[in-house]
A and B are shown apart, each in its own frame.
Chain A
Amino acid sequence: MNSKKRILVWDLPTRLFHWLLVAAVVGLVVTGKVGGNLIDWHGKIGLLVLGLVVFRLVWGIVGSTYARFCQFFPTPAKIATYLKGGWQAPGHNPLGAFSVFALLGVLIFQLLTGLVANDDIAFVGPLYDLVGRDLSNLATGWHRLSVDVLIALIVLHLAAIMFYAHVKKDNLVKPMVRGWKEVDQGEPARGGGALALVVALVIALAAVFAASGVWLPEPPPPPAAVETPSW
């Protein structure tokens, strides 16, 4: 009866995404809370996270089986099966899927507001010039409030993982590290080859470029002859 088999659940790009994201988000919360000169790093790490998230969004379409959003999108039918306790398939279960979309959603909100935020001290997000002062202040307020939502979701995320490990005796962390899982039934992940990876990376890099604001027109240099008063 005990015919467990090893299948690939999380492909390498998804795993790399996850653990880089964990490190970067911890870095962002620390640099954001501490401020001072670290706020410069906050901006840089923010761009890294932007790249990671955009990569994951594309990977959710072109990646391998269990990384695809449509594979784990929580439809009412799936939720019903899950609630009746009949959920067997590998990959995200419907509740986990909610958590994935919620985490990604709040991260995106954090990124968009952060890109135009300011700290009223000596740092502005790279796209600050696009929105101006008033909108930037508003976005900064939201940015600071939604950090708490993000932290709450992460705590919930970790609590759910602990619950699975200790109560349901299902270690979710190992597959997220090694990629494979021993299951009774289910197909190994397929797809997400080299071409898909290149496409996702290119789009992610393009997004980082767009968000970095380096393409914004420089303010026209003052004509050499005209100087501001020397006092």
Chain B
Amino acid sequence: MKSKIVLALLATTLAAGAHAQVKVEDAIKWRQSAYATMGWSMSRIKANIDGTYNKDDVAKAANVIQAIANSGMGALYVPGSDKGKGWADTRVKPALFTDGPKVGKIAGDFNAAANELAKVAASGDAAAVKDAFGKLGGTCKACHDDYRTKQ
């Protein structure tokens, strides 16, 4: 019994420790994975807009984007992760770490657009989804234009 509690405590401290300081390599990997997953979801919604529209498919994809957008991805931009390798060399621009309010605004717009898309996706209104999808894509681009290197 006692040893179980100790083990549990140990596990919690370890987990908390891991939470407090994400390793740079992991942080880069995770954010790259999160973005790639959003890329998957965006393509999926696009395929529905261009082809036959499946409400459930779109809602699933929109929920994924909404979840990632609201996951607090900022935590993956740990100090020192402006350089380094995750799945590949990071393409973040150092400016992302220094432009505080400007990045915050872009991230906020992105969150709002992701929430809006998830909302209209649930309603199944294809025209509204197309519109919200375009707006969301614009916020992805706004961040990439300013904070991701060209290659």
Contact = CB atoms under 8 A, between A and B. Distances in A.
Contacts of A38: 134
Interface stretch (B40-48, B95-103, B115-123): B40-48
B74 interface: no
Given A121-B39, A138-B151, A36 B134 contact: yes
Interface in B106-151: 130-131, 133-135, 137-138, 140-141, 144, 150-151
Given A120-B144, A121-B140, A122-B45, A37 B134 contact: yes
A99 interface: no
Interface residues of A, number: 17
A38 B141 CA distance: 12
A115 B140 CA distance: 21
A129 interface: no
B134 A121 contact: no
A122 B150 CA distance: 17
Interface residues of B, number: 18
Interface string B75-95: 000000000000000000000
Contact of B42 (A122, A137, A145): A122
A141 B151 contact: yes
A37 B133 CA distance: 8
A39 interface: yes
A119 interface: yes
Interface string A127-140: 00000000001101
B73 to A, nearest CB: 16
Contacts, number: 44
B27 to A, nearest CB: 19
B134 to A, nearest CB: 3
Nearest to A118: B39
Given A120-B39, A121-B39, A37 B137 contact: yes
B43 A122 contact: yes
Given A121-B42, A121-B140, A122-B42, A36 B151 contact: no
A218 to B, nearest CB: 13
A152 interface: no
Contacts of B46: 122-123
Contact of A35 (B42, B137, B151): B137
Contacts of A141: 150-151
A78 interface: no
Contacts of B138: 34-36
A137 B39 CA distance: 14
Contact of A36 (B45, B135, B144): B135
A37 B150 CA distance: 21
A144 interface: yes
Contacts of B141: 35-36, 119, 121
A34 B138 CA distance: 7
- Give the 4 A-B CB pairs with smallest separation, nearest first: A37-B134, A141-B151, A36-B138, A35-B141
7 contacts: A36-B138, A37-B137, A120-B35, A121-B140, A122-B39, A140-B151, A145-B150
Given A37-B133, A37-B134, A137-B151, 9 more contacts: A35-B141, A36-B135, A36-B138, A37-B137, A119-B144, A122-B42, A122-B137, A140-B151, A145-B150
Interface of B: 35, 39, 42-43, 45-46, 130-131, 133-135, 137-138, 140-141, 144, 150-151
